[in-house]
Chain A
């Protein structure tokens, strides 16, 4: 930090210090927010934790009328969150990586920026609008045209048995997939772009075809970063609320059938929080705490994986 100058009045030294502290305070709000949200959620969950203890995480019940204050458990929502997130990843990650390959190595130069901008526009569409479209366009189409066909072909698997409602786990997973496409694509693209051209040239010089160059020189090199992109997408998928709550059916089920309705941590909070009180409210806080904890862990993992790519590069130069 540069001194204020020999002839500067001592007032400005004070001003400098005050300003420095103000900025420091601003930076520390990041830590403050994190601690604050953890603290308040733990505080809010206290009643629920006292009432249900560890059983909360394996209990399937969600009934305001049971017992004295109602009986609540997290399992259906944990299940729903995991299932919809996995479906979203299975659909979105291959599409995103394929698109990233196209944008990095295959697309003509004039097409790359417009295409990237379109994908950015996709990211700007709010969740509630995807939910709106989901209810009135996607669900009917899936219910009448797609799911019956799916059931006919794959109905022998337990995942595709049972009544077709239109809303449900698979629908919610599909919409979440659409919503995480932009971020997984853009991070994947950054990762692929950071693969040194020299690697590609090495493969070309051996007489590799275009795809072989991508496979050998690019995808292998970028493996860890691409996984980081997928984990980042997972982090996003875990927290999707509005679109999910509008098309998932909102029933605390644990069902193997993907056509069945379900619920996720975020969507049950969205549905029941406004009118909740007492033990139920506290249980919702506890669900929020689970959601927060898992999301933070997943995001930390993603950051580590994506940044590991840069350290691998610097290691090579030796």
Chain B
């Protein structure tokens, strides 16, 4: 069994604090992160360098460079069509599912090149999980089966382990209390918000290091949305989270860092508080104040 728990693989946890927006590279320079204080040395979970993505002849991302901090929430914001979803999907090689997709540049997951010559996308996706805009539990499986499907794919058959992981993942997704008595019920019998939390539990069950979320609450009502946001704040203690959202208030509430994309370019990246209160770029300011988009 090739299974590493997060603790074995991650370096010492670093809590990103608002007062030290360290490792926030600016869009106009290609320099890598500079630690602000030695006491809280932030760690990059994912380093992206000069990423460009093409679909056929059409260039969707233009030379994007940034560092995703470990155990923090990074929000990706920007108007429709700015490339934020493509950026997110390039982090777990899901953009390759589209025909004629091509990328240039370098993306490293804790130092390892995920686009290396011998690297399998399947293995990358085990370590970088994803939750989608519309919840998509497998309808022919029960709640429990949905949670464990990733584990079973990897050859874990041991009943005890599966049960333990199921409970663990469902607790982390704040769904355990609601479904613990009906794990055998079909997954589609849950409400929309519950289904989305089930998808989060499913992604967490394989113990990824990074969790990507593509507008996870956009299809949900405000109550369910706030539950998801609370969940994100809890999860960031153990996981690195990257979330794409078109809801700026959500980005402001739930994230530590924010990246603003526009027309395929990374315009500005920094601590969330800084981006929203004193953005450095005019375009950023225009967007966050609602002048366009």
Interface residues of B (CB under 8 A from A): 92, 94, 97, 99, 122-126, 129-130, 132, 134, 136-141, 149-150, 153-154, 188, 192, 199, 202-203, 206
Contact = CB atoms under 8 A, between A and B. Distances in A.
A206 B149 contact: yes
Interface stretch (A13-21, A43-51, A133-141, A213-221): A213-221
A315 B134 CA distance: 15
A204 interface: yes
A207 B155 CA distance: 13
A143 interface: no
A224 B97 CA distance: 27
A277 to B, nearest CB: 56
A198 interface: yes
Nearest to B150: A206
Contacts of B130: 201, 205
Nearest to A209: B122
Q: Is the interface of A mostly helix, strand, loop or mixed?
A: helix
A220 to B, nearest CB: 4
Given A198-B136, A200-B97, 9 more contacts: A201-B97, A201-B136, A202-B132, A202-B138, A205-B203, A206-B129, A220-B140, A223-B140, A318-B192
A205 B92 contact: yes
A156 B276 CA distance: 80
B132 A201 contact: yes
Contacts of B203: 205-206
Contacts of B136: 196, 198-199, 201-202
Contact of B199 (A202, A207, A223): A202
Contact of B126 (A198, A207, A217): A207
Contact of A207 (B150, B188, B192): B150
A49 B45 CA distance: 81
B278 to A, nearest CB: 36
Contacts of A204: 94, 97, 125
A209 B123 CA distance: 10
10 contacts: A198-B134, A201-B94, A201-B130, A205-B130, A205-B132, A206-B203, A207-B124, A217-B138, A315-B188, A318-B192
Contacts of B134: 198
Contacts, number: 68
B188 A205 contact: no
Nearest to A215: B153
A207 B206 CA distance: 9
A208 interface: yes
B221 to A, nearest CB: 13
A152 interface: no
Nearest to A206: B150
Contacts of B140: 220-221, 223
B153 A207 contact: yes
A205 B138 CA distance: 13
A296 interface: no
A312 interface: yes
A201 B149 CA distance: 14
B138 A221 contact: yes
Nearest to B152: A216
Contacts of A312: 139
Contacts of B99: 109
Contacts of B206: 206-207
Interface string A147-164: 000000000000000000
A216 B187 CA distance: 14
A206 B138 contact: no
Contacts of B153: 206-208, 212, 216
Interface string A178-208: 0000000000000000001011111111111
